[in-house]
Amino acid sequence: MKYDVVVVGSGPAGSVTARYAAASGAKVLIIERRPEVGVPVLCAEGISKNVDNYNLLSGTKWMAASMDGARIFSPDRTIVKLAAELAGAETGYVLNREFFDKELVQGALKKGASIMLNTTAIDLLKNKDTIIGIKALQFDEHLDIEADIIVAADGVESKVGRWAGINTTLKPHDLETCTQYTLSNIVVEEGYCDFYLGKKIAPGGYIWVFPKGKDTANVGIGVLASESTPQLPLKLLNTFIKNHPDLKKGEPLRFLAGAVPVAEPIPATYDHLLLVGDAARQVDPITGGGLMASIEAGKSAGETIGHAIELQQFDQKTLLPYEEQLQDTLYRKLKRNYVVKEILQNFDDKTLNMLADSLKNYKFDELSTFSLVKALVAKHPSLLIKLKPLMRLSKL
Amino acid sequence: MAKPKAHINQILCLACGGCISVCPQDAITMNGRKAFLEKTKCISCGICINTCPVGAIDLEGKK
Ligand SMILES: Cc1cc2nc3c(=O)[nH]c(=O)nc-3n(C[C@H](O)[C@H](O)[C@H](O)COP(=O)(O)OP(=O)(O)OC[C@H]3O[C@@H](n4cnc5c(N)ncnc54)[C@H](O)[C@@H]3O)c2cc1C
Ligand code: SF4
Ligand code: SF4
């Protein structure tokens, strides 16, 4: 078996890379260890409406609900509302991720890619030190699949990278450890994604309520692994739901455990090998959102691969445009937000309450750094010191 | 006596991959939708134990 490209993993990073590579003429195979694309869902399913700009989706099954804005709840439950009509706030969708992932894969298949399910990558195929393909296990059969380029889109575990000798290990303070219920029979504020902050609520992370319809929502928690103890995310989430008037009568339709990298992106381009998506730690470190990042990076990776196949050159230098094209867009944002994440982590509950109190009536349509700072400091002057590190970022 | 190693209760594991991504020894692998630990690689650092969101990992011999 010989392909131009083997993509390991059929999540958004893998399928979008495969789509753009196949569209530029490459012979692409996706291998996926699961028996069904997109199942089980390991996600809160929130995405920005920027996804519309890529024209990757058709139909409506992938979308569960449309969002007009977000509400942030401080530890003392002061609400800061970021609404759609206000500049700067991103509107979005809550997805049905099993259909979303399937549509993205179908998009790649329509461009000529193929896929093998129940097929687990177990090692790189090498000739001396050169990567020449992937070793996989399909049921009990060992397969050696040759390829000029391997795409590691294998998610948070990022094992393919490790086989190539890349250190993909996450530090505990760069991982959110998560659980989530999809709760039915609850009262939801339709059109708003809710975020609850606080050291006692979710140390180093937050609790989210993302509505999927009139009486259903994804209710989940992320805790920074460095601040977690065994089972802490599950215990904190159960306590939160039990004490929340709108949620406590809820009944679960789905339960999941998940892991989200909140690190800086790692170098992702090597001879014959690209890392894309969670595997490359391309996730917004503040929100833990990785879907848009995977799509952006997947497009760049796929297009670059197409070019490399045309040239029949597969070295790092030929493949580097993949990351260079992302430097001023995706990577700039991810690196800046990593610094912000580190700063926010040091805010205690009192600071978060003061912030929320200053912002609760703030008109976000005049979103300039200066007016924002004025609003914050007018009410709570002591915030100035806490916010100083953030000010430096306005230059980034 | 050797330090007790990490032990994964496969019945509780929900295959989130968290433990795999933080293990400094690359001692854990997903196998048939469950995390499996290669004991000889484990250095008993305990990182995976605190990371597991559902409490599926423990120290060997602990009840
Ligand atoms: C609880 C939770 C909530 C989240 N909420 C959001 C959100 O609301 N919005 C958002 O934007 N992001 C969210 N994320 C992050 C988002 O899910 C990821 O960033 C996104 O799925 C990354 O896509 P990916 O293609 O890189 O990886 P994945 O979607 O994880 O896909 C990786 C694929 O590779 C396969 N695979 C792995 N190893 C192998 C192997 N050896 N052989 C073959 N196949 C393999 C896996 O089975 C999987 O299908 C959340 C994550 C979690 C855990
Ligand atoms: S205890 Fe440390 S070395 Fe052992 S499996 Fe867990 S994380 Fe890896
Ligand atoms: S962290 Fe826990 S639930 Fe997640 S894969 Fe490891 S053992 Fe399983």
Which of B45, B57, B60 is the best mutation target for the ligand 2 pocket, counting ligand atoms within 8 Å of the beta carbon and taking the most?
Answer: B45
Instruction: List CB contacts (< 8 A) between A258 and chain B.
Output: 16, 18, 53
Confidence of residue A391 (pLDDT cuts 50, 70, 90): low
Q: Is residue B52 part of a domain?
A: yes
pLDDT at A159: 98
pLDDT at B2: 76
pLDDT at A384: 76
The mean per-residue pLDDT over the stretch A200-228 comes to 97
> What global pTM score does this model have?
0.95
Q: Could you report the per-residue pLDDT of A36-45, keeping only the tens digit for each?
A: 999 999 999 9
Instruction: List CB contacts (< 8 A) between B16 and chain A.
Output: 42, 177-178, 256-259
pLDDT at A365: 56
Rounded Cα gap, residues A158 and A168, in angstroms: 6
Residue ranges of domains in chain A, CATH in brackets: 2-61+96-170+264-325 (3.50.50.60), 68-92+172-262+343-396 (3.30.9.10)
The mean per-residue pLDDT over the stretch A316-335 comes to 97
Instruction: State percent of chain A over pLDDT 70.
Output: 94
Read off the CATH number of the domain in which B48 is found. Answer: 3.30.70.20
Q: Mean pLDDT, chain A, as a whole number?
A: 93
| A contact test, residue of B11, B22, B45 with most A CBs within 10 A | B22
A302 pLDDT more than 70: yes
* Residues with a CB atom less than 6 Å from ligand 1: A 8-14, 31-34, 42-47, 120-121, 153-155, 157, 159, 178, 180, 220, 258-260, 277-279, 283, 288-291, 294
Return the structure tokens found at A87. Answer: 């500049």
B34 pLDDT more than 70: yes
Q: Is residue B29 part of a domain?
A: yes
Confidence of residue A362 (pLDDT cuts 50, 70, 90): confident
Q: Does A256 touch chain B (CB under 8 A)?
A: yes
A86 pLDDT more than 60: no
DSSP code for B32:
S
Atom of ligand 2 nearest to the CA of B49: 6
Q: Is residue B1 part of a domain?
A: no
Closest by CA to A255, choosing from A219, A308, A204, A295, is: A219
Q: How far is CA A138 from CA A29, A123, A135, in A?
A: 14, 13, 10
pLDDT at A383: 79
Residue B41 domain boundaries: 6-59
pLDDT: which is higher, A344 or A96: A96
pLDDT at A393: 63
Q: How many domains does chain B have?
A: 1
What are the φ and ψ backbone dihedral angles of B24, each rounded to 5 degrees? -70, -15
pLDDT at A363: 67
Between A and B, how many residue pairs show a Cβ–Cβ distance under 8 A?
87
Q: Is residue B27 part of a domain?
A: yes
Q: Is residue B22 part of a domain?
A: yes
Instruction: List CB contacts (< 8 A) between A232 and chain B.
Output: 53
Q: Which of A182-186, A187-191, A274-278 has the lowest average pLDDT?
A: A187-191
Q: Is residue B18 part of a domain?
A: yes
Confidence of residue B63 (pLDDT cuts 50, 70, 90): low
